[in-house]
Structures are given as structure tokens and as C-alpha cells.
Amino acid sequence: MKSLVVYDSVFGNTEEVARAVAGVLATGGEVAMKRPEEASAADLEGVELLVVASPTRAFRATPATISFIKQLAPDALHRVRVAAFDTRIDVEKIDKRFLSFMVKTFGYAAGPIAKALQKKGGSPAAEPAGFLVGDKEGPLVDGERERAEEWARALIEG
Ligand SMILES: Cc1cc2nc3c(=O)[nH]c(=O)nc-3n(C[C@H](O)[C@H](O)[C@H](O)COP(=O)(O)O)c2cc1C
């Protein structure tokens, strides 16, 4: 199975998870990793599984991630299995009540990414996932890398 992981990352945490996911996908075939600014429809040639990942910033994916999906043709992901994940702040660690409320209300990047991929014809390979960082710049919360690897294994088995 040929896979493509398109990931954005500001502080490196989403990249770390993307590398862990790609490592698992590599056990099932060829894998390429691309930043959204560098990825285009040409990279989808022969791809059976597309994973798109972004840090959650202001309740959504990064502009580069959104633009990458937007520029794809309406049926670009026809016959491609798609999955999305984000990284996000552990809400338990946010001490400002208002911010905690906002995060819970306005949500995260992965769900809208998954929806946008399906709008381009992709069929969902997994539920959108979120992996936790302890603070804005990280690090990943203990166990999250392993949880991501488990999520990735289900992508191959599915
Ligand atoms: C400007 C900014 C906005 C953010 N907004 C959110 C948010 O709405 N919800 C959330 O859970 N985390 C938010 N975060 C935390 C990011 O999700 C965190 O920085 C990211 O997971 C780190 O991933 P990266 O190292 O790949 O950039 C924000 C961080 C920054 C710097």
C-alpha cells in the first residue's frame, strides 16, 4: 500500500507524531512525507492512503494545511482512503477557565480536516484523532506517541 503523510508543524510535535505514524505505515508499504506547502495533486499519484496532520491553532488547522486541501480537484481523492490527526493542548492543563471553555466549544483541527478530505472524494480510514501536548511548544504528553502508532496500525489493518 502506498501512503502519503502531509503534515504541518510549528514547534515539531506534529512532525514527531507524523514520523511515528509514517514509521508504522512503512511496515505496510511505501510512504512519503510532505509539508503542505510542498505537496500537490502530483504527489497523490498511486496513493491509496492519505494522512493529513496539523497542529490545532485557534481551533483549526494551519492555513497551509487548509490551502493544500482546498487546491485539490473536487474528486482528487476518489478511491483514496483518508485520515486526519491534529496535536492539541491537554485541556486538563489549561488553567484559564475561559480558554478551556473556548477549546471545548470550538474544537480542534482534525475533524474539519477529515471532513474536507471526504468532500474531495476520500473515504474515511479512521476516526479523526488528536494527540496531546503538555504546553504550546510541547513536549508530547507521555504515551501519545504510542497511541499514535496504534492509530496508524489500524489504518493498515483497515
Ligand atoms: C497561536 C496558537 C494557537 C493555538 N490554539 C490552540 C487551540 O485552539 N486549541 C488547542 O488545543 N491548542 C492550541 N494551541 C496549541 C497547539 O496545538 C500546539 O502548539 C501544537 O499542538 C504544537 O504542535 P507543533 O509542535 O507541531 O506546532 C495553539 C498554539 C498556538 C501557538
Query: How many CB atoms are closer than 10 A to CB 53?
Result: 29
Give the model confidence (pLDDT) of 77-95 as tens digits.
Answer: 999 999 999 999 987 777 6
- Does CATH place domain 3-157 in 3.40.50.720? no
106 CA closest ligand 1 atom index: 8
CA of 72 to the centre of ligand 1 (A): 25
CA distance 25 to 40: 20
**Among 47-56, 67-76, 102-111, where is mean pLDDT lowest?**
102-111
CA of 33 to the centre of ligand 1 (A): 21
Q: Is 17 in the pocket of ligand 1 (CB under 6 A)?
A: no
CA of 157 to the centre of ligand 1 (A): 30
Give the model confidence (pLDDT) of 107-137 as tens digits.
Answer: 999 999 999 999 999 999 999 999 999 989 9
Give the model confidence (pLDDT) of 28-52 as tens digits.
Answer: 999 999 999 999 999 999 999 999 9
- AA identity, residue 36: P
DSSP label of 132: E
pLDDT > 90? residue 101: no
Answer for the pair 102, 30: CB distance below 8 angstroms, yes or no: no
Answer for the pair 42, 71: CB distance below 8 angstroms, yes or no: no
Instruction: Report whether the peptide linkage leading into residue 139 is cis, meaning its omega lies within 30 degrees of zero.
Output: yes
